[in-house]
Copies of this chain bind each other. A is one copy, B any other.
Amino acid sequence: MIGQQIHDLARLLWPMNRSLTGDGVRQTLSTIQALHLPGMTLHEVPTGTQAFDWVVPREWRVREAYLVTPSGERICDFSINNLHLLGYSIGVRQSMGLAELSGHLHSLPEQPEAIPYITSYYKERWGFCLSHRQRLALQDGVYQVVIDAELFDGHLSYGELLIPGTSRREVLLSTYVCHPSMANNELSGPTVTTFLAKWLLSLPERACSYRIVFIPETIGSIVYLSRHLAALQQDVIAGFNVTCVGDERAYSLLPSRLGDTLSDKVARHVLKWIDPGFRTHRWHERGSDERQYCAPGVGLPIASIMRSMYGSYPEYHTSLDDLVSVVTPAGLAGGYQVLRHALEAIERHCHPRATVLGEPQLGKRGLYPSISTRTSGAEALLMLDLLTWADGQHSLIDIADICEVPVWDLYPLLDTLRAHQLLAV
């Protein structure tokens, strides 16, 4: 159900030519804004803007790109699959033999059916990507190279949605919109994030505020951090980089750099109850915006809860990472649910304190059986366990871990005990 809705959005966004910059990013953001998140604001940052050690690059525009074979066939057509064009290619209109052309072709001999995804953001190049099977079939002769593209002083685009809560505590969700037609390592991120935002907006009240950003990877997070660092460092108590949340093969975690933030604790707790066999990756394997959010001097508590992590599955960064065989409604629903559990655990994060000394007399409140047998009270024991650990030192997550139950089993007990004024948070 929710999985199908997320998948529908992903299919809609599929053909847009996302990159670091350009109209494909703008289309992606305005589609999400128009259909689901009207409160999202779109931002444009001019080429040349300094952001920490980086500079916003030129904007990329592609009108068309293809090769014409010696026999007159049009191949590697960008309009059919935008992966055919090397990302950030400069414009070219030229004829050349196959030998010369070959230096500009990229394919994967070990995956002969896959079109690889290649970019050259910071050095001017041009090139085409194609399946190795197709490449081997190329005939000798003169090829026409047509790339009607340009790099120009324009803007970097990103979207931002602020959802207020009743406290200044803030949760950051960051997802990226800079890869062209790929599913797990691109569209699963912004689409699941969109539906998490809708769920958050549907809540009658939120304890935390939420800051949700849709940005190009690396340069986008650096630009965003450079504009908001002090506020983020002051308010953000947890957050996730949302990527690779759409396949059905695994659940996995890339912890934050230091590995012990609230985000990490929540992620580990939720994942172990959803999938005891979830994989924990090492920080060494990082590869997305957590590199910036967790950097020395930045130090935000950002982890990544994923299905199959980027780099860990064979279709990664190829045309095989699609919305048919890799990313499915069920896979997206799983990614959505685990992140929603995590956000709920952050919403309800607290350090409960018992309000009476010693155990309260649950019996007089109808919360404990009135007759003792050797097994009596078994059903009330979890409530007593919650009370015994409610010392203001243990968080609700800590208590759930000690009690060996998922934290969501404690929510109704916490509510009951608060209603009886036996617990304060």
Contact = CB atoms under 8 A, between A and B. Distances in A.
A295 B374 contact: no
B52 A118 contact: no
Nearest to A229: B357
Contacts of A390: 296
Given A120-B371, A356-B53, A358-B53, A257 B388 contact: yes
A222 interface: yes
Interface string A96-124: 00000000001000000000101111110
A58 interface: no
Copies in the complex: 3
B292 A359 contact: yes
B116 A297 contact: no
Interface string A343-382: 0000000000110111111011000001111100000010
A54 interface: yes
A181 B244 CA distance: 65
A39 interface: no
A291 B357 contact: no
A385 B125 contact: no
B359 A122 contact: no
Contacts of A120: 370-372
Given A297-B354, A317-B374, 18 more contacts: A52-B357, A52-B358, A53-B357, A54-B358, A106-B373, A121-B372, A122-B363, A123-B371, A221-B358, A226-B358, A283-B402, A292-B359, A295-B388, A296-B353, A296-B354, A296-B391, A297-B391, A298-B357
22 contacts: A52-B356, A52-B357, A53-B357, A54-B361, A106-B373, A118-B371, A119-B372, A120-B372, A121-B372, A122-B364, A125-B370, A125-B371, A221-B358, A226-B357, A283-B388, A284-B381, A284-B385, A292-B358, A295-B358, A296-B388, A298-B357, A299-B391
Nearest 10 CB-CB pairs, A to B? A123-B370, A296-B391, A53-B356, A53-B360, A296-B354, A292-B358, A52-B358, A52-B357, A119-B372, A222-B358
